[in-house]
Chain A
């Protein structure tokens, strides 16, 4: 592999480019009705090329297959770290901006341990890394990896720490040391788990490259604030035979934020927009460098680390190494990652209509909410966990949350009235009281006029539904 001429940007590939290289037999084995439909889906990254069986199996298509693979390859290489079901895919980005298509492979977050930590402390950290979980829009979000740092610079100590980590977690591991002897000791026990070798530098690159080849593990390249060197190292390592590389241009806290953001941005643009293959690798951000700032209370360092992480999740980091294990500082970034990596092509909406919880009867409350997925799942989980028997009418707000739906006229008296009507709720309850979200309070009057139902303004947050009902249901007849 060497620097080739500028490759077509992923967005510039037309379905026709792809179609011309497919078998064009319209055999339908991929599940599409014809090759053109398959080509369109390929360009939109909705299917895998390997679904085209003839292309893989028939020898005559061999060269077309490899041409297609190259044509459709992401500008940022995808690297796998770890094995089995906890393995993470890193990079593989198809575009620079998420609106150009979508972002793939949400930034994994690795938490560090060291080889000089007392055993009980290390085990406690690993246990926390394993178990930290939060439910968000019906999904479980969690931490992804463990970075083992050698602060001792002692191969035996490192080996022992790596062994302890391996026996207590299945998560993929990053081995962190610039000393090849220490790295070798870690790899000897961990290589079957395909850890990331962190890192090759200007000084140790040959020994690290030998280790990467010998153990077939991905290799990180570290050249702080020196993209020229970073590029020279990737060029050298590729020639040396190492292909699964990651780039660390350095994460600098405080006033270093300027150059950090600049470096990440220049690397990603060079790879995505100018076809620079030598920079077409996943980028590692290390927000835990915030902990190198001295004389600050730990809450301040946790705060600064979280802020650095947030900026790097937004600006192109494909993997993060962090130190803080505090829930309050991790949660915003775990959610931010989920948000930024949401596929912008899919509306985050649920089907509008009537939902029934528990076993409501003709006297049970009727609630209204928006069809934005997060709002809906939050309301649903609050209703369910409180064990409330009720009806929930989900209004079609085109995927907007209540507050923006009201502001943007997606939730209006009319759309609420339509939803009540089409839900068939009128025949299910004998009362005519509807509870609307507190954030839609201003619609009350109009809804009453339009529907003839009495409006009760519910809480601004669904966590208070239970308390609200205790107080206000059944409604006091006025």
Chain B
């Protein structure tokens, strides 16, 4: 077997005897059987094409001295300073603060991009809010199997999500208030929220039906009934502003001490515009942004980039974007790959689905999202675990993976 020099790195070449070269010229190529040549001692360069110039005729090359020892280079962590900081927002209120929560949640306060922990770990870890629906809605099987006993009973569902799934807070989606569905009244909705507030000790997010007019009525009623609880009303939009509904909702939120989630469709200028409108009514620490979460495979890259841009702009000093963000991560299930049978090589979908939701969440975690509204217990648990691990700086043991190449699986 002959050693070949493949490239044209002439500095590394060692001169070849003229006799061997003659042979090469004669035969064009050569094969030496059973000849052992130590590469470190001798390298033979056998060009695949015809050899024309003997190296003897070439001018002597100056071969730069090769280092024999490791040349030291210094590394300094690339630390940057930022003008801006994200506003800290508190959700929920204890008895002494005017509510009845036993646990409150603080989000925001970051002064570095997401988990740039060589600069600063997020002062408040991102949190997970479990989605709860106030009536039966179509759910993927992989999710339904975990909540089927509590469907139709939002208080029980909320309790399950906190006690069993480990949710930090719950979002009650008042789907039944949708005029196109049950058109349940604002007082019915308020009763639901009261029941949930009694069932769990964590902060509560109140989700509307998506109908601007109806949501305004529902939010106002709930703001009043849940006075002092510091719930988050999810969500208000520019459409509501256009319809003249924004002011009354925001005023109700302020009067009764709640937080508002400002939803815009992946457009930072709109997000800023909506925040500006809200500043007329609300202190900055009562506004959270929903910049839209698209599912993995269905536009997640837009969501990722809009969150990354928002956070970098906020840190660079754009005060109108210095708000924590919330993601409707459950939207991951809008991707058919999360729930559809795709054929045996992609199964089981009972694992594929929750992983779909988890990957959607992890992607946005690294873009800076502060609240994740999620559904599948495995996805919730994984995200919590990863967030916890992201705070464990300095825990690695290099030897634990130093020989990963030869691990036996």
Contact = CB atoms under 8 A, between A and B. Distances in A.
B320 interface: no
B71 A99 contact: no
Contacts of A439: 334
Contact of B180 (A257, A262, A441): A441
Contacts of A258: 117, 389-395
Contact of A97 (B138, B312, B336, B394): B312
Contacts of A378: 336
B297 interface: yes
Contact of B355 (A116, A231, A270, A329): A329
A232 B71 contact: yes
Contacts of A292: 400-401, 404, 407
B9 A176 contact: no
B117 A332 contact: no
A393 B105 CA distance: 47
Interface in A158-204: 176-178, 184, 188, 191-192, 198-199, 202
A404 B292 CA distance: 8
Given A259-B396, A262-B393, A374 B301 contact: no
A191 to B, nearest CB: 6
Nearest to B68: A206
Nearest to B345: A327
A96 B390 CA distance: 21
B265 interface: yes
A105 interface: no
A257 B301 contact: no
B104 interface: no
B11 A241 contact: yes
Interface string A421-442: 0000000000000000001011
Which among A241, A258, A261, A463 has the greatest number of chain B C-beta atoms within 10 A?
A258
A40 interface: no
B346 A252 contact: no
B404 A289 contact: yes
A106 interface: no
A224 B401 contact: yes
Given A216-B9, A259-B396, A262-B118, A239 B66 contact: yes
B1 interface: yes
Contacts of A460: 138
Interface in B194-225: 210-211
B125 to A, nearest CB: 12
B292 A408 contact: yes
Interface in B32-75: 39-40, 43, 64, 66-75
Contact of A407 (B210, B393, B407): B210
A292 B406 CA distance: 10
B398 interface: yes
Given A202-B70, A266-B118, A332 B359 contact: yes
A261 B390 contact: yes
B398 A299 contact: no
A478 to B, nearest CB: 19
B296 interface: yes
Contacts of B64: 239, 241
Interface stretch (B89-97, B161-169, B276-284, B302-310): B302-310
Contacts of B340: 461, 463
A340 B118 contact: no
A225 interface: yes
B192 interface: no
B251 interface: no
B300 interface: yes
A224 B265 CA distance: 42
Which among B68, B363, B403, B406 has the greatest number of chain A C-beta atoms within 10 A?
B406
B346 A232 contact: no
A62 B185 CA distance: 78
Which among B43, B342, B405 has the greatest number of chain A C-beta atoms within 10 A?
B405
Contacts of B305: 97-99, 344
A215 B394 contact: no
Interface string A220-238: 0000111111111111100
B404 A286 contact: yes
B132 to A, nearest CB: 20
A205 B71 CA distance: 12
A216 B7 contact: yes
Given A250-B401, A291-B407, A328 B352 contact: yes
B117 A336 contact: no
A288 B69 CA distance: 32
Contacts of B408: 114, 116, 151
A269 B336 CA distance: 36
Contacts of B352: 327-329, 331-332
Contacts of A98: 301, 304-305, 308
Interface stretch (A18-26, A73-81, A305-313, A361-369): A305-313
Contacts of A323: 409
Contact of B294 (A132, A329, A404): A404
Contacts of A342: 301
B30 interface: no
Interface in A116-140: 116, 132, 134, 136
Contact of B70 (A192, A205, A403): A205
Contacts of B116: 262, 265
A234 B67 CA distance: 12
A310 B363 contact: yes
A255 B401 contact: no
A389 interface: no
Given A231-B73, A274-B78, A328 B297 contact: no
Contacts of A188: 1
Interface string A335-348: 11011101010001
6 smallest beta-carbon distances between A and B, as pairs: A408-B265, A216-B7, A327-B346, A216-B6, A328-B352, A224-B398
Given A99-B309, A332-B355, A403-B334, 5 more contacts: A265-B116, A266-B78, A307-B386, A328-B351, A333-B359
12 contacts: A99-B305, A114-B408, A240-B66, A255-B389, A256-B401, A259-B393, A261-B366, A274-B78, A310-B359, A328-B349, A332-B359, A442-B210
Interface of B: 1, 3-7, 9, 11-12, 39-40, 43, 64, 66-75, 77-78, 80, 115-118, 138, 180, 210-211, 239, 263-267, 292, 294, 296-301, 304-305, 308-309, 312, 331, 334, 336-337, 340, 342, 345-349, 351-352, 355-356, 358-359, 362-363, 366-367, 382, 386, 389-396, 398, 400-409
